[in-house]
Structure formats: structure tokens, C-alpha cells
Structure 1
Amino acid sequence: MSTELKVIAARLHRVRLPLVHAFRTSSHRKTMLDHILVELVDASGAVGWGEIASPSHPYYAPETVETCWHTAERYLLPAVTGQSWDRPEQVAQLWAKVRGNQFAKAGVDVAAWVLWSSARGVPLAQALGGTRSEVIAGVSLGIEPTIDDLLTEVRRQVTAGYPRVKLKIAPGWDVEPVRAVRADYPDLDLHVDANGIYTESVEHVTALRALDEFELTMIEQPFAPRDLLAHARLQRHLVTPICLDESVETLADLETAVALDSLRVLNIKVSRMGGLTAARAAHDRAQQAGIPVWCGGMHEFGIGRAANVALSSLPGFSLPSDVSASEKYYAQDVISPPVIARQGVVQVPTATGLGHDVDTDLIAAHTVATVEVTA
């Protein structure tokens, strides 16, 4: 049976959803999110959905919702529409001249994978080569107004059954919050994420080295993305493994980080690496290097979250991933059923394609802009 697909129309939907709980990182605070949903329509009428889960501000990465919208509308969708392809890995070749813009590319790449797996009649996880029927989920907690507020949030997530909690940290909000959480939860799988806000100043390095006391699973992205040598230097003085996130946007970045011994753990984000094609390749390379991986999140709506679950079913994802239940972030999600976690475990869908129905009515109700590109 031929699996050749030809996208004849593509749409972008800018969708705005409120968060159920405000989330603060080392750079900013957010109460709602705008993400761009990508809809690819095949000549047969089949539809594949993806999600551009870029931040609204250029703090995590250079891209924003506006830049992703421009890049997708002006370059990526015109490159895809009217073109035939047999495998989703081929789609990225259609926009090979476009450099960077990983978040924008990721949404279109995911939509191509969903469209292809739907046409083949297989679940997305199976199409990617996944081997797990369930994924262990962790949660990420932002910087709270007080340590007591943080402990309340940790208690809520531990009670919900999540076995791993990640804490956002920043200079001045690091050692003492971690100390308080570890005192209350001595056996909790706990790690911290700095989103690259620290420097190699004596004060900052002293605080980071002090975190060794708390037997954390990892310290994620302490220094700026390009500071791979700084990460390598810090790792030589730490027992706690360093995990890289923002530093690894491409496979070449990963090769450099491995050569420098700048990481002992890798956070693979579909959005940051340009889609499922590149994320799967990063998983394979990390396995070869003996580096454990987990799937990070960007507060995705259900479409991106379901793609993360599918990716996390690959064998190298040995650590809990940021695929917590939709309800942790959104009162209503754009898929049905939403992603559900029971005692910190998410089942990998067995239905074809994304494994969830896309709620087009809810999407329409929360869309603030839309555009269509045709062949």
C-alpha cells in the first residue's frame, strides 16, 4: 500500500489558554499562553495536527509566537504544501534552506508525523519506534512567593502521585528552597532547573556547588546555552550530574557537549530540537553515548503533550518526563480525552495517529488569529 502523502492545505491557529496556576521561572511569570496549532490537510482529506509551543518572549530561546507565525506562514508551510513525501523524516528536507527557527519547524514536523501515522493506521508512538506502554511523569514547579507556598505546591503534586519534582531556581532562590523541600521529602526524586541564569562568579558557583548536599537527580542548565565549557568546568567539581536543555538545539550541539563532557543527562524537547525527527535522532545518539534522557516540556497544550508522550515511549527515556496531566496546567485542553496521569503514570495511546481526538470547537473558541496556505 502506498503511503505517499501530499499536503494540499495548511493552517495556523493562534490559540490562547489560561493557566490554572501562575508559573514563574528565573526570567518571567506567566498566567496564560499563546501557542500556534498547525493543521496539515492531505489530498485524501486526512488531517495531521502539530503544535508550535514557543514562549511569548525571547527569554528561553530567541523565538517568540510572532516570529514563529511569520516563519511558518512565510517559509515552512509554502515549502510543504503541494509536495509529495513518503516518510515524515523527509519533510524537514523541504525547508532545508531555513536556518534555526526550531520551534516553528517542530510544529510542522509533528503535524507531518501525526498525518503519516494516521494514514498508516498506527499509533504515533509505534511509528517513532516506541517500546513502552506507559510513561513515568514528573512535574515542574515554578518559583513561588515564599518557601511555604512552594512546599504547598510540592505537597499537592506528591499527593497526586508524581514521583519526580523539578524546582525552578535562580540566584537567591536556590539553596534554601531546596533544603526545605528535601527536609520534608528526603526520598523524593528531586532536581532543579536554572534556565541558564547563573554565571561563573564565585557567589553563583558556591551556591551551585552547595546543592551537592541534597542528593539531587540533576542540576539542569545552570549556565547560558553556549557556555559548554563552563558546564564542563562545573561538572568536574560536582557529584550531581549536570543536565543540558537550552544548550542542545541540534545534533551537532549534542556532539560538542559529549566531547567536552559538559553533560551527564540530556533533556530532549521536541520544540527546542525542531520536531520529532530530530528529537528521536538525539535519543539515539544519547543512547550510544550512555547518556540517560528524559522529555522536557514547554507547557504544551494537548497536541504537543501527546507528541511528548509518544516520544517518551522510546527505550532510552529512562528518567521521568515532563508529561504530567493536562489538568495540572489547563482547565480545558484541546484534545479529548486529555492527557491523564494516575499516580504519576501516563498511558501511551494505542489509537492511530495522535491517539486523541482534537477538539476543533474548543480550538475555534480560543483562537485569536488564523491563516491558511494552499498549494
Structure 2
Amino acid sequence: MIKLDHVKVRHVSMKLKSPFQTVNGLVVVRDTLIIEAQDQDGRIGYGECVAFSDPFYSPETTTTAWDQLKNFLLPMLNKKRIEHPSELNAIFSSIQGHQMAKAGIETAVWDLFAKQQGQSLKEVIGGVRDEVESGVVLSLMDDIEKQAEEYNKKGYKRFKLKVQKGKEKETIERVQNVVGDVPLMFDGNGQYEPEDMLYLTQLDDLNLLMIEQPFRTDDFYYHHQLKKQTITPISLDETIKSGHDAFQAIELEACDHINVKLGRVGGYQEALQIHRFAKVANMPLWCGGMLETGIGRAHNVALASLEQFTLPGDLSESSRYWEEDIIEKPFTVKDGKVSVPSKPGIGVAVNEKLLNKRTIREFTHTF
């Protein structure tokens, strides 16, 4: 039984090394929520709620997540005995939406549970890899050739490009001229309309690894239509908010790959369900990123160690975004790969001094 003593929620503010620009929004300062779940023996599990300050990626924000955690989700745990972290998904099921808030506490409890078992989180969830292949994202603000050259030297296995509609080919060719045959993809961020279908099929000659989320968030139909008409693989991101969404996407043949983000789907239980569906369908998965701190990145690396995560994920090293991360030993990329921590839980030590410095408000819920 997981006997929680208290949960602390911190609102942490961290300035990015350089602004991160997509067609939907600009991030200069990354506000995130760090959740600490402490048991009665003093062990702490860490999670991260990856909602942004503004609702440009999803309806959730740090403010809505703070409210959900404080007034709804954490109080629900006072009434329940928790034997295993997989039970949280059902406990929270009466709350509609708010996947990122749910994932924040759920990931913290999974970390705590693994520490109680004396096992790494990779072992607890059934991961099979000691290293995972790393890709890197280049935003619209980046000096793209300079950035591509720098990250190519580090051996990144895949480059994901943020693009403006109508300038995809130009952007991709600029990077191809620098990185050669390294796989490239671009993130559509839902900016395309059905009338852009023919235009997108004309990008087949670029030999892309995939196009991610070209159509709107709630769309399965037009992604299915595009998949039938293009040879470039289609990957879904924002459309997949649950295991059921993944099941529909697979059955409707709406995509070739799925980008799995713990925050977007509500935590490990839904992510593991997606993994089971993908394994049956033999569909490749990859782990997306949300400008996480080292805590969220550690969870992503553990997730990417699962068998069906065969494509390089958004698992760049900590220095890609931060001058100082809030973990003692930041993640690094060597030969295009990131090592999966083998110590208990997420396997990283939190820099308490820096975490306290970056915390702008906090509350504690006691059990």
C-alpha cells in the first residue's frame, strides 16, 4: 500500500536559454508545476505538470492545473486506499479532462512507488532499453543552420522542424544542406486545412521521416484521407488524448505513428494502454517533449524505454533549453542517445537549492 503523508505542489518559473517559437505561441519563460509526493517514511516521488502558462497548446494552463490539484484531485486521494499507482487513473476518472494536472500527480506517485520497490521506473513499467535515441526540435526562432550544425555534431538521430505554412520546403532544404541524410520531420501544429491536402502530398519528394499533426486537434477523418494519398508517414500528437483515442486512430487508419506525451494523455496508465494497442498493431511510437525540466525529462526517458518506442523522441539534453536544470546531473546526449537512469524511481537527484530558488509559490496537501 502506498501511504502518502503529504503532497507539495510548486509553481516553478525557469527562463529558457533562447525563446521557443511555434506557429501557435512563443515561450520565453517556462512556468511549470513540480509535484512532490512524500510517503510516511520520508521518500519523495517527483512529477511534473507540463501545462503552459497560456492555453495555446491545450486548454490547460498552470493556473487551471494548480486549481484542479488543490481543490479536486488531491482531496480525492484522502478518501482512497492506493495499492498501486495504476489505480489513480480510475480514481480521477470522474473529473473530465485536465490530463496534465492528473499526469502531474500520477507521475509523482509512480516515481514514489518505484522507489518504495527499490527499482528503476524503467523496470517497473516494463522498459527494455538502457539507452534511447534522441531527436531535437528546432523552433521558428532558431538560427536554423547554426543550430542544425551544432546538434548534428552531437549525433542527434532526428531533427523536428517547426515550420510556417508555405515555407516548409525552404526550411527543410536549409536543414538538409547541413545534416545530410539524418531523418527530418516537421510539426504541422494543426495549421493545415482540408484544401491543403494536395499541397501536403506534393512534399513527398522531400523524403521526410514523418509529418506530425497537420490537421486540427479533434480530427481523425482528414488525417485518414491524407494517409491514403501520401507516401510520407503521418504522426498524431494533439489528437491523441487517451488510450481510446489511440485505439480509434489505429482502427480508422488515421496515422502511421503516434507521439505519446505523458501530460497530454493523463499519465502512465493511459500511455501504457496506448503502448499495448500499438504493439498489437505493430505501430511505431515516439515520445514527445513539452519543454520539461529534468524531472519531466526523466519520466519521458523512462517511457521511451518501452519496446514499441522505436522512433527517436524529443529527448534532447538539458542544456538545449536550460543554463541550469533543477536536477543535479543534467541529461546529456552521447552519439545521439540518452542513457536511461538505473537508480530507483526516475533515477535523478533533484537540486533542492535551485528548485527552491525557482519556486514562486507552493502549497502542501496533507493526508
TM-score of Structure 1 vs Structure 2, range by shorter chain: over 0.9
* 1:117 alignment partner AA: A
Please name the residue that 2:194 is paired with.
200
Please name the residue that 1:326 is paired with.
318
Structure 1 portions without partners, runs of 5+: none
Q: Compared with structure 1, are the counterparts of its residues 82 and 7 closer, same or farther at alpha carbon in structure 2 (3 Å cutoff)?
A: farther
Q: Distance in 2 between matches of 1:335 and 1:352?
A: 15
Conservation of the 8 A alpha-carbon contact between 1:266 and 1:293: yes
- 2:168 is the counterpart of 1:174: yes
Q: Which one of the candidate residues 336, 344, 361 is aligned to 2:336?
A: 344
Q: Distance in 2 between matches of 1:65 and 1:173?
A: 32
- 2:115 is the counterpart of 1:118: yes
- 2:89 is the counterpart of 1:102: no
* 2:63 alignment partner AA: E
Please name the residue that 2:158 is paired with.
164
Q: Is the partner of 2:203 in helix, strand or coil?
A: helix
Residue 45 of structure 1 and its aligned partner are, at CA, apart by 1.7
Please name the residue that 2:71 is paired with.
74
* 2:153 alignment partner AA: T
* 2:297 alignment partner AA: R
Q: Distance in 2 between matches of 1:341 and 1:183?
A: 23
Q: Distance in 2 between matches of 1:161 and 1:50?
A: 29
Conservation of the 8 A alpha-carbon contact between 1:75 and 1:95: no
Q: Distance in 2 between matches of 1:108 and 1:190?
A: 34
Q: Distance in 1 between matches of 2:147 and 2:242?
A: 34
Please name the residue that 1:358 is paired with.
350
Q: Compared with structure 1, are the counterparts of its residues 254 and 175 closer, same or farther at alpha carbon in structure 2 (3 Å cutoff)?
A: same
Please name the residue that 2:30 is paired with.
33
Please name the residue that 1:271 is paired with.
263
Please name the residue that 1:290 is paired with.
282
Within a 5 Å distance, the mapping from 1:50-89 to structure 2 comes to: 50-81=47-78, 83-89=80-86
Query: Deviation digits for residues 299-329 of structure 1, max 9, x if unmatched?
Result: 1101110000011111111111111111111
Please name the residue that 1:221 is paired with.
213
* 2:89 alignment partner AA: A
- Give TM-score scaled by structure 1 length: 0.95
The percent of aligned pairs where both chains have the same amino acid is: 35
Residue 57 of structure 1 and its aligned partner are, at CA, apart by 1.4
Query: Deviation digits for residues 94-134 of structure 1, max 9, x if unmatched?
Result: 22211111111111110010000000000011111011111
Conservation of the 8 A alpha-carbon contact between 2:262 and 2:300: yes
Conservation of the 8 A alpha-carbon contact between 2:152 and 2:179: no
Q: Compared with structure 1, are the counterparts of its residues 82 and 364 closer, same or farther at alpha carbon in structure 2 (3 Å cutoff)?
A: farther
- Cα-Cα RMSD: 1.3
Please name the residue that 1:43 is paired with.
40
Residue 186 of structure 1 and its aligned partner are, at CA, apart by 3.4
Q: Distance in 1 between matches of 2:348 and 2:333?
A: 15
Q: Which one of the candidate residues 301, 307, 311 is aligned to 2:293?
A: 301
Conservation of the 8 A alpha-carbon contact between 2:148 and 2:179: no
Conservation of the 8 A alpha-carbon contact between 1:11 and 1:38: yes
Conservation of the 8 A alpha-carbon contact between 2:50 and 2:290: yes
Q: Distance in 2 between matches of 1:268 and 1:281?
A: 11
Q: Distance in 2 between matches of 1:334 and 1:123?
A: 20
Runs of 4+, deviation exceeding 4 Å: none
Q: Distance in 2 between matches of 1:64 and 1:195?
A: 18
Residue 81 of structure 1 and its aligned partner are, at CA, apart by 4.0
Q: Distance in 2 between matches of 1:368 and 1:156?
A: 34
Q: Distance in 1 between matches of 2:11 and 2:289?
A: 19
Please name the residue that 1:130 is paired with.
127
Q: Is the partner of 1:357 in helix, strand or coil?
A: coil
* 1:198 alignment partner AA: Y
Residue 144 of structure 1 and its aligned partner are, at CA, apart by 3.3
Q: Distance in 1 between matches of 2:65 and 2:9?
A: 10
Residue 41 of structure 1 and its aligned partner are, at CA, apart by 1.4
Residue 82 of structure 1 and its aligned partner are, at CA, apart by 6.3
Residue 373 of structure 1 and its aligned partner are, at CA, apart by 1.1
- 2:149 is the counterpart of 1:152: no
Q: Distance in 2 between matches of 1:39 and 1:276?
A: 17
Q: Distance in 2 between matches of 1:84 and 1:315?
A: 31
Q: Is the partner of 1:336 in helix, strand or coil?
A: coil
Q: Distance in 2 between matches of 1:289 and 1:26?
A: 32
Query: Deviation digits for residues 252-282 of structure 1, max 9, x if unmatched?
Result: 1112111221100110111111011211221
* 1:58 alignment partner AA: P
Q: Distance in 2 between matches of 1:213 and 1:240?
A: 9
* 1:5 alignment partner AA: I
Q: Distance in 2 between matches of 1:267 and 1:232?
A: 16
Please name the residue that 2:8 is paired with.
11
- Give TM-score scaled by structure 2 length: 0.97
Q: Distance in 2 between matches of 1:21 and 1:233?
A: 37
Within a 5 Å distance, the mapping from 1:183-198 to structure 2 comes to: 183-198=177-192
Conservation of the 8 A alpha-carbon contact between 1:8 and 1:81: no
